[in-house]
Amino acid sequence: MQKLPITESEPDEHGHWGKFGGRYVPETLVAPLEELTKEFMRAREDANFWRELNQLLRDYGGRPTPLFHAQRLSAHAGGAQIYLKREDLLHTGAHKINNAVGQALLARRMSKRRVIAETGAGQHGVATATVCALFGLRCIIYMGAEDVRRQALNVFRMRLLGAEVLTVNAGTRTLKDAINEALRDWVTNVHDTYYLLGSALGPHPYPLMVREFQSVIGREAREQILSASGKLPRALIACVGGGSNSIGLFHPFIADEQVRLIGVEAGGRGDSLGEHAARFHTGAASGGGQIGVLQGTMSYVLQDTNGQIATTHSISAGLDYSAIGPEHAFLHDAGRAEYIWTSDAEALEGFELCAKLEGIIPALETSHAIPPAIRIARDLPRDESIIVNLSGRGDKDVQLVADLQMQ
Amino acid sequence: MSRILGTFAALKRSGCGGFIPFITAGDPDLATTELLLRELAAAGADIIELGVPFSDPVADGEVIQRASDRALRKGVTLRDALTCIAHVKQRIDVPIVLFSYFNPLLRFGEDRLADEAKQAGADAVLVTDLVPEEAQTWTEKLIQHELDPIFLVAPTTSGDRLAQIAKRGRGFIYAVSRAGVTGARDKITRDAEALVKRVRAVSDLPVAVGFGVSTADQVREIWGFADAAVVGSAIVSQIEKLGNSPDLVKHIGKFARSLVAPAS
């Protein structure tokens, strides 16, 4: 494949990054998606919108987040300096709030009083429930039964925040099925309902819009690393489920060709289809590397030879999804970003290492980025740096890890 | 003229409304699907929609989701659905619409699908999650193979889009009776009639109304303002209820006849 240098990554007016993205939805949803696109494009050019968003992100969300020099992790790696972008310090404990606040402002502009959202790990559900409480909006969260089980703490948090959590028992009972159910709700209640999608996936304008709201991560990180080390990092490393925290970190660096962009997928417990959630898996029986259409967008999708969407497995609910956001698919094919995977077992090692060496308990999703960060830092000189997006904190996972250690 | 347009022209000449049942291929199994298709044709179906099972049917309510699940658990594929069409086409003359989500078709290969669907004897293809904007080359391929691309319109569809869709579509326009997923409802909303009127204003294509149609009264109501009524979930739910009962095929035939029977 020819690798072209790319300096920007903008979709066309219909939300296509090359062949990826677009809008593959039932006809009923086209009108609300067009309405949303129009409102988002208007807000994007509106200084007052950004002023209000930035003020909320600062005073309510806790931005800017620090870029922390993880000296003990760096020493452990024995190479480049590792910096952690501390999205875990945000209100509600993950980067998800950046997007939730932005979209809640849009919902308010559009006078939609009923908000629905899907959630995997529960972080997006909690962020959505939080902003709905803040803005006085009715909130309904769809969550797969399997995720309800493994993220019980977040279910309780959402209910405390006044949200209705609806358990989805269809399909694999994880994030994918929660999105299906949210789409079915939206198609039924289009007139008064805002669908607050949590990742950089789904039909246009969601992948673009979520990226725009998450790009604050990369914009801050770029300034912070320049001020801390006087030069750009050699690599950015972030976990990728749908891909919102990673695209948020990557996007402001896309023109900086010397900066490697490395997305870390969930390698799960094995290399065969169904045992992992690595859409760019290269194993012969892995099902990786197939282009398809799922939930409104064209991208790389884990699927069987008949085009049925495959089940996935990951220890982390937030990465347990069969498709990757379309902009990642584009960056992958353009050769601008690289994608690797970390197994469940390695992610647990990253989880413990970060806790013991830095006093930071990361989310299991985030933990996938730690082992590759150490390997990459090891191969670089000490006067270079890399940035890991510490996308979320691990309180929600403590019980799960405790249970695993008991076994 | 395509066979589907021919069917509608004949209906119009005789002053009748059309009846379009939907079933999922492989529910409860492929052999029974073939028998059901023949029975539905005998019971007065003017066109039949055959659904390809898909793992993530976002436009469908629970009844058709479960039908899809049952078929997938038996390993039913797009290829099987085509084989099924090829078999019954030797015995029945009713036009068949292949009804699918996009991903199974994409994986099968768009060219190959157009080719093999034609060979099997399908007359049209309707892709639930493929709107005309994303379907340019796809539509051309189908037309080249003399297959009608059928598009949906919904009460939320704007006037501009309605005209665009009418221009791209062939065979008939499928009007979704209301915002929502497939599944039986007590009432056909006013939305449906208003939508059909809007379609008529921009297109000469026949209009079929579906989503939520489950009784003979509703079918007759739709015939009052549209060319045909599509009945899906109500039939599929009967198939679910009877499962592997030996009376299944006979019962579905009876149910289909009851849907199109004149008012007593």
Query: Are A55 and A175 part of one and the same domain?
Result: yes
**Residue B262 pLDDT class (50, 70, 90 cuts):** confident
Q: What is the pLDDT of residue B123?
A: 98
Q: Which 3 state secondary structure label does DSSP give A333?
A: helix
Residues A38 and A72 grouped into a single domain = no
B21 contacts B97 by C-beta, under 8 angstroms = no
Q: Are residues A188 and A242 in the same domain?
A: no
Distances (CA, A) of A65 to A25, A62, A122, A355: 36, 7, 21, 19
Mean pLDDT to the nearest integer, A343-348: 98
Counting beta carbons within 10 angstroms of the beta carbon of residue A81, is it exposed (0 to 12), middle (13 to 18) or buried (19 or more)?
buried
Same domain, A150 and A101: yes
Q: What is the extent of the structural domain holding A171?
A: 23-59+96-210
Residue A8 resides in a domain = no
In a domain, A248, yes or no: yes
At A307, which CATH number?
Answer: 3.40.50.1100
A118 is catalytic: yes
Reference A340, options A332, A352, A330; nearest CA is A332
Cα–Cα distance measured from residue A265 to residue A343, given in angstroms and rounded to the nearest whole number: 9
B218-231 pLDDT, tens digit per residue, is 999 999 999 999 99
Is A354 found in the same domain as A304? yes
* pLDDT greater than 60 at residue A4: no
Beta-strand pair A296-300/A291-294: antiparallel
Residue A223 lies in a domain: yes
B107 interfacial to chain A (CB closer than 8 Å): yes
- What phi and psi, each to the nearest 5 degrees, are found at residue A259? -90, 120
pLDDT at A2: 42
Number of domains forming the structure of chain A? 2
Residues 231-250 of B with CB under 8 A from A: none
Instruction: Please identify, among A174, A194, A210, the residue that sits at the C-terminal boundary of a domain.
Output: A210
Q: Which residue of B has its CA nearest to A311?
A: B55
Specify whether A140 is located in the same domain as A225: no
User: Is pLDDT above 50 for A1?
Assistant: no
Strands of the B173-176 sheet, one edge to the other: B148-150, B124-127, B96-100, B48-51, B18-24, B228-231, B207-210, B173-176, B152-153
The amino acid that residue B169 corresponds to is G
A118 and A265 in a single domain? The answer is: no
| Domain stop point among A210, A240, A271 | A210
- Spot the catalytic one: B27, B39, B46, B49: B49
Domain boundary (A141, A176, A210) is at A210
Same domain assignment for residues A80 and A48: no
Tell me the shortest Cα–Cα distance from B250 to chain A, in angstroms: 31
Chain A residue at shortest CA distance from B155: A28
Alpha-carbon separation of residue A334 from A160, A248, A331 (angstroms): 44, 18, 5
Count of domains for chain B = 1
Contact status of B8 with chain A (Cβ, < 8 Å): no
- Does residue A194 sit within a domain? yes
Q: What pLDDT score does B264 carry?
A: 61
pLDDT in tens, A219-236: 999 999 999 999 999 999
Count A/B contacts: CB-CB distance under 8 Å. Answer: 114
Same domain for A354 and A367, yes or no, is: yes
Question: What pTM was estimated for this model as a whole?
Answer: 0.96
Residues of B in contact with A292 (CB under 8 A): 103, 106-107
Judge whether B34 counts as a catalytic residue: no
Query: Which residues contact residue A227 at a Cβ distance below 8 angstroms, ignoring those fewer than 6 apart?
Result: none
A12 in a structural domain: no
Q: Which residue range(s) make up the domain with B250?
A: 3-260
Complex prediction ipTM: 0.96
Q: Are residues A157 and A193 in the same domain?
A: yes
CATH number for the domain that contains residue B225: 3.20.20.70
Q: How far is A270 from chain B (nearest CA, A)?
A: 22
What value does the mean pLDDT take over residues B58-62? 95
A87, A118, A181, A220: the active-site residue: A118
Q: Note the pLDDT tens digit of each residue in A164-192.
A: 999 999 888 989 999 999 999 999 999 99
- A3: confidence class by pLDDT, cuts 50, 70, 90: very low
Is there a domain that residue A193 lies in?
A: yes
Is residue A30 in some structural domain? Answer: yes
- Could you please report the per-residue DSSP string of A186-241? HHHSTTTEEE---SS-SSTTHHHHHHHHHTHHHHHHHHHHHHHHSS--SEEEEE-S
Average pLDDT of chain B, as a whole number: 96
Contacts of B247 (CB under 8 A, 6+ apart): none
Structure-derived torsion over alpha carbons of residues B30, B32, B34, B40, reported in degrees to the nearest 10: -140
Same domain, A146 and A161: yes
pLDDT higher than threshold 90 for residue A27: yes
Do A175 and A309 lie in one domain? The reply is no
